[in-house]
Structure 1
Amino acid sequence: MKYKFASDCHNHSACSPDGHDAIAAMCARAAELGLYAYTLTDHCECQKYEERYRARVENAWAQMGAVRPPEGLRFYRGIELGQPNQDTASAKAALEGRGYDFVIGSVHNIRDYEDFFFLEYKDAPAGYIGSLLETYWRELLELIAWGDFDSLGHLTYPLRYIEGEHGIPVDLKRHREAIDGVLSALIRAGKALEVNTSGLRQKIGRTLPDLPLLKRYRELGGRLVTLGSDAHSTADLGKGIEEGMDVLREAGFTEFAIYEKRQPRMLPLE
């Protein structure tokens, strides 16, 4: 790693339904890469907590407590809460009694729809995609108002599929007011904005969010940012983190945050 403080704070082990490798293997890879800090954030889709995720959350927490990270690796215990705004009781249950270092808040699907990954866009009626995005921004505001998280995950998540996988361009200028509202709400709430580097290894080819939106966040007064590869295997762990740090520097940031006991610890981009 060319950056002394390179850290990966969004990734998934086999404790997630779509993860592939054991926590011990993920930690070993983080140490091998020379990461300054490594935070594991396995999935909890809150609206499916009772049927699919309660046992997974319990298992991930137990395994994170039992793992012995390689010497010198700063290992932090985290979780990614999907759609906590849609089921706040389950979100509370997932956090209760567990002293996480870091909580990501994400919206992977809006109410009454599947994950953006599964939706069909090619033959959609006029206005369909715009309507989806308008609802998505509103649900992000709900998530921020709920508030029991530390960093907002992959702000432009729907574009990973709409633009990246399906090749349908989206003019975000039409959503400028809504996006500014989300960024401003984050800033007022004292929450971080995640730079998710998964897009750099996917068809969309850029960070989520990308440089223009990160510049806008800073223009509005945003200073708290986190970095995560969104890896689901040891093979992808740490990928794009250095490039993400490059993007942050280009956007005018001089530092980023890792979280310990739910408190930000600021590190220089060096």
Structure 2
Amino acid sequence: MICDYHTHTSFSDDSVYEMENCINDAIESGIDEICFTDHVDYGIKNDWDMYRAGKADKEMLNVDYVRYFSEIDKMVEKYGDKIKIKKGLEFGVQSHTISDYEKLVSKYNLDFVIMSIHRIDNKGFWSGDFQKGKTEPEYYRVYYDEMYNLVRNFHEYNVLGHMDLIKRYDDKDGYDSFSANRDIIEKILRYIIEDGKGIELNASTEKYGISELMPSKEILSLYHKLGGRIITIGSDSHSKKDIERVNIKKFMNELKKIGFEEFCTFENMKPIFHRL
């Protein structure tokens, strides 16, 4: 069974990939189940009702929830006999936005939620705004401290997305971020296991030319050693090229090498375990 549990469409502000095209491309690629996880980033983006009320710009908006879920329902009706389709979202959570996500989850019936950290104090990693004025050890520590705070205070999610995402944007100078932060990483993993949550293996490393896994084999191995079982695999696709370049089976085999025997899909926010 091949599943892609991290996909983006034109409902995310960083993609123009039409949902139906994504589904057809997934079917052609041999994917059996797909979960749409378009972006919600409170703190820097507003909801569509704010825009419609004239209180926000159209350029910085979260998912149009009503249209998004309606479109997924249409796709399930049209393609449900060819591929299983699930309703998800990717939350770019920050400490000061937790209550916004708690309110959002209470409004809609979701199958799956990724909690990601894309920025801290509204400062993005890709732009370098967050890292500015900090040494590499300093910004990695702040990053993992924020992650630990979030997993202890926000619980309306299923997996922690691309756990060491910040390495996409680091100095790539040989700094061993795992060894330097192993203590806090272990605290995070222990907490999410106790909380019934999991992590994802993010397959976008091929897209970004990163030679290691995301999260790293060290993090994945530690998670496995600590008893972590809940894990999903996602392409983090934003285009047809992203879907085509990711070989989900390859990442399933990487998990097997580490010792994992299962991966997860989700329904109504509950994990379903499948043999790798």
What is the TM-score of this pair, normalised by structure 2?
0.87
Q: Cα distance 1:240–1:55, how it changes in 2: closer, same or farther (>3 A)?
A: closer
Match of 2:126 among 108, 113, 117: 117
* Number of residue pairs the alignment of both structures matches: 259
Number of the residue aligned with 1:198: 204
How far is 1:203 from its partner? 2.3
Letter of the 1:225 counterpart: I
Aligned to 2:51: none
Which residue of structure 1 aligns with residue 233 of structure 2? 227
1:41 corresponding residue in structure 2: 37
- For residue 156 of structure 1, the aligned residue among 154, 164, 171 is 164
CA RMSD, Structure 1 to Structure 2 (Å): 2.0
Query: 1:10-159 counterparts in 2 under 5 A?
Result: 10-47=6-43, 48-50=45-47, 51=56, 52-54=60-62, 56-67=64-75, 68-69=78-79, 71-113=81-123, 115-119=124-128, 128-145=135-152, 146-159=154-167
> How far off is 1:121 after superposition?
9.4
Deviation at 1:234, TM superposition (A): 2.0
2:52 maps to none
Quick one: distance in 2 between partners of 1:112 and 1:21? 26
Structure-2 change in CA distance of 1:27 and 1:84 (3 Å): farther
Which blocks of at least 5 consecutive residues in structure 2 are unaligned? Answer: 48-55
Range with bigger deviation, 175-184 or 47-56: 47-56
Q: Give the Å deviation of 1:89.
A: 2.6
Return the offset for 1:226.
0.6
Spell out the pairing of 1:163-202 with structure 2 (5 A cutoff): 166-171=171-176, 172-202=178-208
Structure 1 unaligned runs (5+)?
A: none
* 1:204-254 Cα distance to aligned partner (Å, 9 max, x none): 222210222211111111111110010101221261422211110011001
The aligned counterpart of 1:9 is: 5
Going from structure 1 to structure 2, the CA distance change for 1:240 and 1:94 (only over 3 Å counts) comes to farther
Matched to 1:137, the amino acid is: Y
The 2-side partners of 1:69 and 1:41 are apart by: 18
TM-score after normalising by structure 1: 0.89
Q: Give the CA deviation at 1:98.
A: 1.4
State yes or no: 1:257 paired with 2:274.
no
Matched-pair contact (CA < 8 Å) for 2:41–2:62: no
Q: 1:170 to 1:86 in 2, by over 3 A?
A: farther
